[in-house]
Amino acid sequence: MPHHPLQPGLKRGLDILISLLLLLLTLPLLPILALLIRLDSRGPVFYRQVRVGRGGKPFRLLKLRTMFRDAETDGPIWSRRGDPRVTRVGGWLRRTGLDELPQLYNVLVGDMSLVGPRPERPEFVAQFEQEIPNYAGRHRMRPGITGWAQVHGLRGDTSVAERTRYDLEYIRRWSLYLDLKVLLRTPFTVEMRDRTYPPNPLS
């Protein structure tokens, strides 16, 4: 964690400034994405889901919908490669990361940061805390839209345990410089990414 008392405040200030700017820049894109989602499948454009944030506090994460309506009537299921619940447009949104644009609002209101460990659902967090050492340590900082693990290619078909190791390293080494490094590398890791998940996420 940072030692300089001003850095956390500066991080929050930059989160507000950059997320507001990006929201304004991407605002014209949202109606187009909304139209594509509605033409592709029935259901709402936006999707709200409870995730675990800083200090283990739950919040409602906002996304563009990528699955068919009522896709989880049988309860939460870890998404896998070729998941039939994902729509055609939803698959494209996931690969490009555009489904996460609404999370800029979560950053603006303080639920998230631009950079930090990716937030997970309470059901999965409860499982991972039992099986991955110090998994709860990820919640010492606000979760992020992108993170240290993601820019190292640890998304999609990768180990949650390995991602956790990078998340904890990020928290231990955190600085504004490290955040800038992650933000600059993110566009190169987002391009044509595969954000589906392995059958055994703990492996």
CA distance 58 to 176: 26
Contact in structure between 114 and 107 (CB atoms under 8 Å): yes
Q: pLDDT of 1-36, one tens digit each?
A: 545 677 889 999 999 999 999 999 999 999 999 999
Q: pLDDT of 51-102, one tens digit each?
A: 999 999 999 999 999 988 776 666 566 566 667 788 999 999 988 899 999 9
Contact in structure between 130 and 164 (CB atoms under 8 Å): no
Which sequence spans correspond to the domains of the chain? 7-69+79-189
